[in-house]
Structure 1
Amino acid sequence: MKLVWSPEMATKAFMDTVKSCELYQGSSVSELISAMAAGWNASLIVETWCLGDVITTSIGLAVASTHTCGRHVCIVPNQESRTMYVKAMQKYSMAPEVMVGDPETVVKKLDIIDFLVVDSKKHDFARVLKAASFGHRGAVVVCKNASLRVVSDFHLRSLFDDGGSRRIVRSVFLPVGNGLEVAHVAAAESGSGSGKVKNGRWIKRVDRESGEEFLIRK
């Protein structure tokens, strides 16, 4: 079974997030992420957050989880961040599950992630992505603030295409807010226990910042 897109769910989550974030300026990122999480009917939604981060993305994910009847988990690095996060979310009568600790370590405890949101500004975001385990239906990964770092589709794929079951089907950069890098991780293939890489085709990727071209085998 694979993740199945539901336009109706996406629309409902989008509109509800608009209402919840109406006091914030430039909350389009939150609305879009909420729509994606709900539209893919994510059962387990995971995000990372720390003191000083905006709260609107969390609001959007909380809204999405109510539509999917799923679990929304926020990973924070310390108790101070947890206190501020919970206090901010309570203003909107929202109470996501909060896990405290090193994000790379904590994310390993969650083995059926359907939708993962990380912040590209954080130095550990790549390690979190590498450590995450995804559900058999596949998953969607969102990197916020993607335009604030030198990144390419080639680099993002290198975190997943390791010859095993972690393979990106497609990815796209969206010029929303400070940039969103969105990737669809493939669903597990039944009977594929060998971990061998199948022969594929060569694909050209272009680094958006430098213009440098890469050839990768898919």
Structure 2
Amino acid sequence: MKSSWCAEIASKAYIDTIKAIKQGHLHESGGVSELFSAMAAGYKAQLIVEAWARGSDVDTSVGLAIASRHNSGRHVCVVPDERSRLEYVDATRQAAGMEPEVVVGEAEEVMGALPGVDFMLVDCRRKDFAKLVRSAKVSSRGAVLVCKGTSSLIRGNQGFRWRGVLGSGTRVVRSVYLPVGKGVEIAQVRTGGGLESVNGSRWIKHVDRETGEEHVFRR
């Protein structure tokens, strides 16, 4: 994303999420929920989209809601059906007294109605997780995409690949895998193919032939 990182906001969201999880007696996430909250807040995300899977904890949702408040932004949870919506709303109300914004529907439909995504977190236990990521309309300044539970996708020598889930025209600037929880893949992405010049500096683009990921460096 082109916006600068704000460590102060990230720290506040991190601490507030820890407090909320303790007060709500939520599931211990090993710091993952706090991390996501700090990331979304620090990147000043205005539209945070979460794709929740039935049966999951809501500690991550609490963290993202806290991040959105620090940014004066919007946190939207996407679920596939009414049953999921009722379960999610009930869980978040009991855990943190939240009144979440929830959107119900098919992946392409709901994501098509949410333009300008700055931060998106998808639970890979959802069968439609790839469609959700592929259908995301990334904001003009780019976005941070997070897929959690990716270890469950590994079969033999095949694992998670961003090129297999990103939509046409969306490219990876940088990515990282974190061996926390059940595996987390994080990518900073942007749309379009042009590279910018800043103060006469030159951008160099390298595409990893194995993963399809694009790495951009400035000299």
TM-score (norm 1): 0.82
Q: What is aligned with 2:32?
A: 29
Number of aligned residue pairs: 201
Q: Structure 1 pair 8/200, CA: closer, same or farther in 2 (3 Å)?
A: closer
State the match for 2:163 in structure 1: 157
In structure 2, the partner of 1:196 is: none
Note if contact 1:46-1:72 (Cα within 8 Å) is conserved in structure 2.
yes
* 8 Å Cα contact 1:200-1:217 kept in structure 2: no
Q: Percent identity?
A: 44
Between the aligned partners of 1:152 and 1:67, the Cα distance in structure 2 is 35
1:31-70 correspondence to structure 2 within 5 Å: 31-70=34-73
1:217: how far off? 7.5
Does structure 2 retain, via aligned residues, the 8 Å contact 1:47–1:116? yes
- 1:203 alignment partner in structure 2: 208
Decide which moves more: 130-139 or 92-101. 92-101
95-104 vs 106-115, which moves further: 95-104
8 Å CA contact 1:21, 1:27 repeated in 2: no
CA RMSD of aligned residues (A): 2.6
Where structure 1 has 5 or more consecutive residues not aligned to the other structure, the ranges are: 193-198, 205-213
Aligned partner of 2:9 in structure 1 is 9
User: CA 1:144 to 1:217, structure 2 compared with 1: closer, same or farther past 3 Å?
Assistant: closer
Shift of residue 127, structure 1, vs aligned partner: 1.1
Q: What amino acid maps onto 1:13 in structure 2?
A: A
Give matches, 1:1-218, under 5 Å: 2-22=2-22, 23=25, 24-91=27-94, 92-150=96-154, 152=159, 155-160=161-166, 162=168, 164=169, 166-186=170-190, 200-203=205-208, 214=210, 216=212, 218=214
CA contact (8 A) 1:43 1:69 kept: yes
CA distance in 2, matches of 1:86, 1:217: 36
Distance change >3 Å, CA 188–CA 216, structure 1 → 2: closer
Q: Give the C-alpha shift of residue 96 in structure 1.
A: 2.1
Query: Would you tell me which structure has more strand in proportion to its own residues?
Result: 2
**1:3 to 1:147, Cα distance in 2 relative to 1, 3 A:** farther
Quote how far apart the aligned CAs of 1:179 are.
1.3
CA-CA distance at 1:15 after TM superposition = 0.7
Could you give the per-residue CA deviations for residues 171-198 of structure 1, whole angstroms, max 9, x where no partner exists? 0001111111000012657799xxxxxx
The answer to whether the 8 Å contact 2:172/2:213 transfers is no
Residue range with higher mean Cα deviation, 42-51 or 18-27:
18-27
Asked whether the 8 Å contact 1:2–1:187 carries over to 2, the reply is no
